[in-house]
Amino acid sequence: MTEPQHQPDPQAEPPAQPETVSTTNPEPVTQKKSKVRWIIAGAAVLVLLLCFGGCGVLLATTNGEESPDQGKAPSTAASQSRPSASGPTTAAAPTTAPATTAPPAPVYDTPTKGDFKLQVKTLRKKCFGSAGCNITYRIDVTYTGDGLDPSRTYEVTYEVKGAEDPVINTFEVTGDSASVQQEETASTKRSGDKLTAVVTDVSEL
């Protein structure tokens, strides 16, 4: 008894063919996959390098090219900080001098005859018994007022009394100094007569 032969089902899938591995390529499959990964990683690194390189060039260009405002700002600051040739740029604050009170103007006298006191100082004396004497003298001047103007000169006229003949003479006064003759002479009638002097006139020269 024979078994019925099975007819192949036309819709059934053909039997799987066994996978054949080429013996001509000794490199295993896993090594191919690792190469593909390295290629992908290298491409990614290249893209990153290109990106960062472009950004670096952009930054270098931005830093190297200064705007007109940026170029002017440092020079302006330097010109402000650097003193000019003529002097410092900052004006010194005006200083106010302390208030000073002017001294009052001096008040001078207008001399009169009574402001002068004269004294006859005997320098030498030669007598002839009771007949009289020859006397050499000088006038000493004393001013009793408050003060005389040093820019003005006054002429003082005086008379020497007690002499045999009257003696009239003058001297000049400027400020606090008087110009008098160093020696004068007069004769008396008696040896006991004394010489005196009085001011008779004062006038401004």
- Closest alpha carbon to 135 in 165, 95, 100: 165
**Tokens standing for residue 189:** 């009638």
What's the predicted TM-score (pTM) here? Answer: 0.50
**Tokens standing for residue 59:** 């930054």
DSSP H or E run through 32? helix 29-64
- Cβ atoms of 201 and 114 within 8 Å: the answer is no
**pLDDT value, residue 73:** 46
8-23 pLDDT per residue, tens: 444 444 444 444 444 4
The mean pLDDT value for 168-175 works out to 95
47-56 pLDDT per residue, tens: 676 766 555 4
**Tokens standing for residue 188:** 């008396």
- Cβ atoms of 167 and 158 within 8 Å: the answer is no
Whether residue 31 has pLDDT greater than 70: no
Whether residue 32 has pLDDT greater than 80: no
63-114 pLDDT per residue, tens: 544 444 554 444 444 445 455 555 555 666 666 766 678 888 888 889 999 9
Angle 149-153-157 from CA coordinates, rounded to 5°: 120
